[in-house]
Amino acid sequence: MRGSLGRAGSLVGRELGTLAMTLVGLLLVTFLIGRVVPIDPVLAVAGDRASPEVYERVRLELGLDLPLWQQFGIYLGKVLQGDFGTSVITSRPVLEDIARFFPATIELATVATVMGVLLGVPLGVVAAVRQGTLVDQVARLLGLVGYSVPVFWLGLMGLVLFYADLGWVAGPGRLDIYFEDIVEPLTGVILIDAAIAGEWDLWHNALSHLILPAAILGYFSLAYISRMTRSFMIEQLRQEYVTTARVKGVSELRIIWRHALGNVMVPLVTVIALSYGSLLEGAVLTETVFAWPGLGRYITDSLFNADMNAVLGGTVVVGCVFIALNLLSDILYRILDPRTRA
């Protein structure tokens, strides 16, 4: 019993140590990026017309006269306290801006990932089982188009067809203007907040705005997930245990959906986690095309306006999300694959 607890404690300690080192490495990289980019943080705060006296005073206040290692120590201490500085554009704390914009990105990426998983996994399985048939060719074509077509073009075409021409969905933005500020943003996710408040007209309006950009992102997620699922399934269907199960008379559906797909789920967890993370940080073009007030658009606008506090703060948050997703993947490994528990 004590030996088991000791091994568990050692494992938790190693995991926490790895997590801490990864986080410090992430902060170091973002700090160095902030010092390497050709943007003067003093001018971003003081303005291009600041006098030499004001420039020097702001430089001292920002601590830019200190050695680089000491600047990083100050930066590390502030970030660990949740202080990313103040945004030059909004004049609000960066963490407050992130808390305002990030839920919109989470809502968009989560719905897109759910679409990609629900459609991509079955499509990849069927394509692997029917390898070389018309179904397989269609699945591979969908994946190829998903990788090849620029997302901004697909978004614009979607707006022209489904919004401007057919009128099936609402246009750019997250809500129609007369629905704004009706409910209190408890979670920041409008679908959840509207459901809690019982504002179903607002809920349907939010869904109408969300469905098209989520479908665009979901298509790219589907292309990636279906392709990887197909590859994993083809490899599993060639294994000896599948042949043995068929010889024993096990039904084909059970072999495919229970045994083969069960073994595929472990690497597929990583694929889904990476897909979700890439949508969280890579939805910039989609958010721009659809005027979606998310974190990607916030970081891009901040970069164009030399607001490095906001850029670095958003980058750290996205990096922490990837770290959290990797940690979640490790936990799911141990749940799905008993061999990793040892």
Mean pLDDT of 168-175: 87
pLDDT score of 341 more than 70: no
Task: Indicate the SS3 state at residue 287.
Answer: helix
Confidence of residue 52 (pLDDT cuts 50, 70, 90): confident
Answer for the pair 86, 92: CB distance below 8 angstroms, yes or no.
yes
Percent with pLDDT over 90 in the chain: 12
pLDDT score of 168 more than 60: yes
Name the pTM for this structure: 0.82
Across 29-33, 44-48, 111-115, 235-239, least confident range: 44-48
Rg of the chain, C-alpha, whole Å: 24
- Residue 126 has what pLDDT? 92
- Residue 40 has what pLDDT? 67
pLDDT score of 3 more than 70: no
DSSP 10-56: HHHHHHHHHHHHHHHHHHHHHHHHHHHSS--HHHHHH-TT--HHHHH
Q: Start-end ranges of CATH 1.10.3720.10 in the chain?
A: 96-341
Please tell me the class of the 96-341 domain. Answer: mainly alpha
- Residue 306 has what pLDDT? 74
Q: Is the Cα dihedral 330, 334, 339, 342 positive or negative? A: positive
- In single-letter form, the type of residue at position 235 comes to E
pLDDT score of 342 more than 60: no
What is the rounded average pLDDT for all residues in the chain? 82
* Residue 86 β-bridge partners: 93
- Rounded CA-CA distance 322/187 in Å is 21
Tell which wins on pLDDT, 163 or 306: 163
- Residue 212 has what pLDDT? 92
- Tens digits of per-residue pLDDT, 95-115? 888 888 889 999 999 999 999
pLDDT score of 181 more than 90: no
Confidence of residue 118 (pLDDT cuts 50, 70, 90): very high
Percent with pLDDT over 70 in the chain: 89
Mean pLDDT of 239-245: 86
- Rounded CA-CA distance 34/56 in Å is 19
Confidence of residue 2 (pLDDT cuts 50, 70, 90): low
Mean pLDDT of 126-141: 88
Confidence of residue 47 (pLDDT cuts 50, 70, 90): low
Check residue 65 and report its DSSP letter: T
- Residue 279 has what pLDDT? 83
